[in-house]
Each structure stands twice: as C-alpha cells, then as structure tokens.
Amino acid sequence: MGVDAIMFVKVGGNRTKDRVQLVKDVAEAAYDIAAVFGASTFHTIRLESSDKDWWPNGRRALELVNSDDDDGPAINPTLGEVLIEVNLGGCYWGPGYERGSIGELIGIAMWLEERFSPCEVWYGGDSGMGTVHFNARTRQTYVKHAAGPDGWAYRRAWGMDNSDSVPIPLCSLCKKPYQRYGYGGSGNFGSFSCLGCGDHLQTHNKGVSWQRGDKWHNGKESVDLSTKEVALLLFA
C-alpha cells in the first residue's frame, strides 16, 4: 500500500459545447495516451474484470467525471468546464514522498496539455495528499527537487533497514547498496533491488543462499545463485 498518484484535466472553451464530440475525443485520447506511455501506466478495467460491479462500463485511461471524488480538496469544474480523470496506475511522487516516476508523470501532464489545450492539469496523491495545479512552473519545482540531494530520499529512508540482520548486498556494477523492499520469514527473508541497474536479489535464510530475479517486480523468475556466485557477492 502507499499513496497513489491522481491527475485531472479541467477543460473549457468551445471543446465542451458539443458533448457528443467531447465524449468521442476523450475516448480517442484515452487510447492514444495508453499507446504512447504504455497501457500498464494506467489503471484500466475491462468489462470482464471482477471490478465490473464498481465500473459496469469498464474504465479507460481517461474518463469524463462530474467531480474529483478522491480524498483531499475537491477539484470541481465551473460552468462551461468539464473534468477528465486520468486513471494512473502508479505511486505519487512529490517532495517528501519521492516514490513514483516523476518523469513519467510530467510527461503525461505535458501530453494532456497539448492534447486538450486550453486546459489545466491538476496532480497530487490520494490518502489526503491533495492536488496542485501542475503547470510548467510547478513541474519545474518538482524537477529541481528531483535533481537535488533528496530526489530519492523516500526510497533511501526505507531501503536500508536490516534490523533483522539480513545482509544488504552491494551492486557489483553500480557500487551502491541494494534497496530492500521485502521482509518476512521470521526475519530470514529479504528481497532487494538496485535502483541503478534494476537487478533483484533475494534470500530466504539470512544470506546463506541467494536467488536472482523476482517475477512480481521485474518479471523474471528467481534463479538460484551457485556457491561460487554467492561467494563473489559484496555486502554493504
């Protein structure tokens, strides 16, 4: 669980006068934005999904909505405006919670501004995080933070916990400690990833033996490392 990213587009002007055409435009844009950024970037729901009771008509990457129903300050369209919800599938990224993909989120916002101009893009997180007008000036403050020393502070904070004495590997390529994201097994299990190259390692016995890969995170089945490969591992 975590703070999910939320995004909305407020559109006004002549585009909103023809409702039938607007519905078509949003449906076409929903397909196009998923084709550009990848369908997995968005939380879409097919008609065959078990969630169909909540969304009987399914849910695309972009959908017209009446108002922002996420927790936090509401974003309500005024007279002559419509609201488009961007059904993002990833985590929020912002100062103090540097978790999602800020580059992807900025790219999506810029795409929406170009596609629905003139419009306003609003971005934020659920769980009471609220939203901000995600214009060029705001995006620049986010980029400045991302490029500074705290650009991945959230991941750094939780990724080095080995209070259960599971050793933290050191990446042979990046020369940096892996970040831990998995715990359990009565303190014997640990799963780790390198933020620099994407390698994944995990152990089920406090580092006696190791596996490379994690099908739930990088799609690769775990493969046991040989005794020689384990002997060559470095630790932080």
The mean-pLDDT minimum among 39-53, 97-111, 219-233 falls in 39-53
8-29 pLDDT per residue, tens: 999 987 777 888 999 999 999 9
Q: Across the chain, what does the average pLDDT equal?
A: 89
The mean-pLDDT minimum among 51-55, 125-129, 182-186 falls in 51-55
Which three-class secondary structure string do you get for the chain? CCCEEEEEEEECHHHHCCHHHHHHHHHHHHHHHHHHHCHHHECCECCCCHHHHCCCCCECCEEEECCCCCCCCCCCCCCCCEEEEECECCECEECCEECCCHHHHHHHHHHHHHHCCCEEEEEEECCCCEEEECCHHHHHHHHHHHHCCCCCHHHHHHCCCCCCCCCCEECCCCCCECEEEEEEHHHCEEEEECCCCCCEEEECCCCCCCEECCCCCCCCCCEECCHHHHHHCEEC
Mean pLDDT of 60-79: 76
Strand 93-94 vs strand 82-86: parallel, antiparallel, or unpaired? unpaired
* pLDDT for residue 221: 80
- pLDDT band of 217, cuts 50, 70, 90: low
175-186 pLDDT per residue, tens: 999 999 899 989
